[in-house]
Structure 1
């Protein structure tokens, strides 16, 4: 499992960005209602900045900032002890300071932090608290479409009669293929609000073509 104790399975920043967009696209398809999504993506967070946000609605949150210099992950798990932020971010490149020490991260809190730069790969500061819950949030970033499909079938399919997702359709989104109606209908049995999905895809910055079924 991926955690701050072993993050060797985390992909590089470019691959992680593609995975992040895929997660947001899949959640937008599975849940037209933003309130019930885990993953959202903002391709215009700031100048040359993009952000993935994960929120379970119960206090756990993860934000990943992508910049030309690399990316940084801030995780907060409700109920876990927060470490000394100066220690857990020791060595953090200055280009990530405004994000990690500014809002909304400052108000959310930090139980773990990792960052990636092309020169040094993935790094973290001094992790004094091994049980920081990072496994609970980082597992979805393994780049395996089955990981999302298994999780989402349980989360979105619980207490409903919806069909399990077509894992091949999930994989196409992980691979960054242009989203078509056929791929969407491999994820869900039906979609009532196509205009809302188009709006979401534009915010994510993901290609689509709904001109044919």
Structure 2
């Protein structure tokens, strides 16, 4: 699956935003240490913008910027044959058609290395669009079924089921993960002491106060 396939499977902007918020809150409960988490959501990243991000600690990452203009999605797979480090710049087509309204995201220092965008996959959607967009890309032949890393990077954005998150989290954290609690959070229902402790018996609701405030997770 490439970025083209992911673009066809992503939901509406509002649905994606709330799903990303839920992923971040689930991980906040499972992992009190921020540095050990994959997913985060900052509802106050900059004026008028929210940012959700994934980092796996091995160099793979994505960023999703939500703004009044729409959504900009950047993914980077450090082992991809399309890595800008291998090509001395982004792979042809990945960023060439990004609309001007998202150019600041392309050039965002947090997403670049000495001015070079760290990107192997890019998707965007302006508010008035009827679907997600990508560039016209000639992918490298015969090297991998996931040439740009999109299949791996965006797996939990494509499969947004509670079961998919449970399976992923149990594999990563190596602990049982309560499916009913996952469903509760993914439905964006207000957190309760019982739900938090079902996810992590070592913390309580009060321990998540900062994460709730940062992510804007609804509590009413």
The reply to whether TM is greater than 0.5 is yes
For residue 188 of structure 1, report the CA deviation from its aligned partner.
2.1
The answer for the alignment partner of 2:173 in structure 1 is 156
In the alignment, structure 1 residue 197 sits paired with structure 2 residue 212: no
The CA distance in 2 between the partners of 1:12 and 1:79, in whole Å, is 30
The CA distance in 2 between the partners of 1:176 and 1:95, in whole Å, is 30
Candidates 105, 110, 131, aligned match of 1:121: 131
For these two proteins, the number of residue pairs brought into alignment is: 202
The CA distance in 2 between the partners of 1:68 and 1:57, in whole Å, is 30
The answer for the alignment partner of 1:139 in structure 2 is 155
The answer for the alignment partner of 1:109 in structure 2 is 118
Q: Deviations over 1:84-119 (max 9, x none)?
A: 356212332222110122211122600110012342
For residue 24 of structure 1, report the CA deviation from its aligned partner.
0.4
SS of the residue corresponding to residue 6 of structure 1 reads helix
Extract unaligned runs of 5+ from structure 1.
none
Contact 1:90–1:124 (Cα < 8 Å) also in 2: no
SS of the residue corresponding to residue 133 of structure 2 reads strand
TM-score (norm 1): 0.87
The CA distance in 2 between the partners of 1:207 and 1:119, in whole Å, is 27
List, as ranges, runs of 4+ consecutive aligned residues in structure 1 with deviation greater than 3 Å: 83-86
For residue 25 of structure 1, report the CA deviation from its aligned partner.
0.2
Matches for 1:1-213 after TM superposition, within 5 Å? 3-7=2-6, 8-80=8-80, 81-82=82-83, 84=90, 87-107=93-113, 109-117=118-126, 118-129=128-139, 131-141=147-157, 142-157=159-174, 162=175, 164-191=176-203, 194-208=205-219
Relative to 1, partners in 2 of residues 1:140 and 1:208: Cα closer, same or farther, differing over 3 Å? same
The CA distance in 1 between the partners of 2:68 and 2:219, in whole Å, is 25
TM-score (norm 2): 0.85
Extract unaligned runs of 5+ from structure 2.
85-89, 141-146
